[in-house]
């Protein structure tokens, strides 16, 4: 289950994102969003994308949070292995702050996805 979560949180950029075949449709706006964009130079392949800039920014922020949480958890494990008590440590407090920020970013991600669908005309 954890591997599935990690796969969903892998870095997604316009250069690495490829739409699933079923996401490409005959919708003109979908073609613009899911289609290829011209390459910067003739040697570069065209990039495929299916997310708005807002969605990409939110996902990048979520990846940064995930990295910070991983570092905090690793530090907490080190402290536990060394027999150091976490009493008075700011790590659990920071971890709780990051969880709250994650929930906020997740709502923002959902709003951005809904906005994309609205722009494409799939929802009203």
Tell me the pLDDT band of 15, cut-offs 50, 70 and 90: low
* Distance separating alpha carbons of residues 116 and 123, to the nearest angstrom: 9
DSSP assignments along 100-120, one per residue: HHHHHHHHHHHHHHHHHHHHH
pLDDT tens-place string over residues 64-115: 999 999 999 999 999 889 888 777 788 999 999 999 999 999 999 999 999 9
The pTM (predicted TM-score) of the whole model is 0.60
Q: Are 13 and 51 in contact (CB under 8 A)?
A: no
CA distances from 112 to 19, 23, 117 (A): 17, 17, 9
């Amino acid at each position: 289950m954890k591997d599935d979560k990690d796969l969903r949180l892998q870095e997604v950029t316009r250069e690495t994102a490829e739409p699933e075949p079923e996401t490409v449709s005959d919708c003109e706006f979908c073609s613009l969003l899911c289609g290829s964009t011209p390459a910067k130079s003739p040697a570069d392949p065209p990039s495929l994308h299916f997310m708005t800039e807002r969605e990409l920014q939110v996902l990048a922020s979520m990846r940064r949070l995930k990295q910070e949480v991983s570092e905090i958890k690793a530090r907490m494990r080190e402290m536990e292995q060394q027999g150091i008590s976490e009493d008075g440590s700011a790590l659990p407090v920071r971890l709780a702050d990051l969880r709250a920020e994650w929930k906020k970013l997740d709502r923002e991600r959902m709003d951005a996805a809904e906005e994309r669908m609205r722009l494409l005309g799939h929802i009203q």
